[in-house]
A and B are shown apart, each in its own frame.
Chain A
């Protein structure tokens, strides 16, 4: 019996480039930066004072006040992206629909409800234990975004949360595809979310010297693969893909955006934040994804890089791509959309998967913006500064997380 195939039949997102898929894709193709000076709090005392925030998001467009006030921002963002994706897919389930038992959720998050975490620690220290909210824990735990999605949309199948830092939502999509392949579900609402732009995480990432401090030029701060890159820029947002077993999707006449073909993983086993020099770990994840997809390296037409704009990631990822793809690496366009979106951490893999799906659909490669000065250690085709028309069939998306988690996904067209 041949393997069950998994296609993408719905998309939704709320991110720094847009509050929906259409605006996001328009701005990604236009090379728009979502990075600005932080507005949510006064960042003057911080080394890094810039971020890619989701501005103008109103949770009450999607949920009643009664619900929104019980959720951390990360779950509110996920709810919005999930709502868009469900609508886009044409799927909906009543509570007593037997098909709801075959529909599940996989949501990745790097740090869960860290805004709530910071607020409630403040309450505990300032006012004592009797004032800590009964909702503190439910708002903090990383899995609640997916839990709430299952409640809201009546998704009673598998419900998992992947917490592999900046690879979290790539793992969610890969694991969701595997769940459908092995016949544990027919539909999976898969993606990720992050709302980590808060004093605690900004301070810690800055102390770890991971962030760009190009505070006077926010839009130019995220510059993956450029010689003058100086760190990543925090972003926030959520993205959701509705994954569905292919025969079922065809039978119901669903709009099929593309197919999940390959999922590869590895661990660096090297350092808590630094990638293994030479990129052998990341390269193995890419090779596993190619093998899973049944594709030769030369078949890949575009790579959406992890490309964080940190000095270490971008040169190491370049080396890893060369290790995985050999001579073919020179011929494959590679771009980092984090140049525009900032780094959504646990939400990054899902947003980038969504952009890959749209790139295939429309035959357009989103650019790496702010690419000005070549770095000798980054010597591939990074689709600099302008989107490029290209008839593509197979794409790879890379995601790597602190802790040494490496994930590669391969998507194909219809």
Chain B
């Protein structure tokens, strides 16, 4: 799967699942500081990623994610593994 397709889907999920305004979302945006996603929201996002990309993201990997780009990295690695 191409990275651009993952990025595009990631943005859609942030808008649809977490109600974040689309124009606030950049790849460099930090979930907590820039997008005001709290710890519950991060869990929701991870569950949405697992469902949509059919991957499993273990807690220890999830804890390292701080930016949108890092979330894309993890999904990209798993989808293409």
A interacts with B:
yes
Taking Cβ atoms with an 8 Å cutoff, the residues of A that contact B are 64-70, 130-131, 133-135, 138
B19 near A66 with CB under 8 A, answer yes
- Contacting A133 at CB < 8 Å: which of B19, B36, B44? B44
Distance between Cα atoms of A70 and B40 in the complex (Å) = 10
A133 near B20 with CB under 8 A, answer no
Interface residue count on the B side (C-beta < 8 Å):
9
B62 within 8 A of partner (CB): no
A64 near B19 with CB under 8 A, answer yes
Q: Can you name the residue of chain B whose Cβ is closest to the Cβ of A67?
A: B19
- Contacting B43 at CB < 8 Å: which of A64, A67, A134? A134
- Contacting A134 at CB < 8 Å: which of B19, B36, B44? B44
B79 within 8 A of partner (CB): no
- Contacting B18 at CB < 8 Å: which of A66, A130, A131, A133? A66
| Nearest CB of A to B52, in Å | 13
| Nearest CB of A to B32, in Å | 14
Distance between Cα atoms of A386 and B47 in the complex (Å) = 54
A69 near B19 with CB under 8 A, answer yes
Main secondary structure of the interface of B (DSSP, over half): helix
- Contacting B44 at CB < 8 Å: which of A65, A130, A135? A135
Distance between Cα atoms of A346 and B46 in the complex (Å) = 35
Distance between Cα atoms of A66 and B47 in the complex (Å) = 17
A135 near B19 with CB under 8 A, answer no
Distance between Cα atoms of A59 and B47 in the complex (Å) = 25
Q: Within 8 Å CB of A67, what residues of B? A: 19
Q: Within 8 Å CB of A66, what residues of B? A: 18-20, 36
Residue among B19, B20, B43 with most chain A CB within 10 A? B19
Q: Within 8 Å CB of B20, what residues of A? A: 66
| Nearest CB of A to B31, in Å | 13
Q: Can you name the residue of chain A whose Cβ is closest to the Cβ of B42?
A: A134
Q: Within 8 Å CB of B36, what residues of A? A: 66
Q: Can you name the residue of chain B whose Cβ is closest to the Cβ of A132?
A: B47
B19 near A131 with CB under 8 A, answer no
| Nearest CB of A to B39, in Å | 8
| Nearest CB of A to B49, in Å | 13
- Contacting B40 at CB < 8 Å: which of A68, A130, A131, A134? A134
Q: List 6 A-B contacts (CB under 8 A).
A: A64-B19, A66-B36, A67-B19, A134-B44, A135-B40, A135-B44
Distance between Cα atoms of A69 and B18 in the complex (Å) = 8
Q: Within 8 Å CB of A70, what residues of B? A: 40
Q: Within 8 Å CB of B47, what residues of A? A: 130-131, 133-134
Q: Within 8 Å CB of A130, what residues of B? A: 47
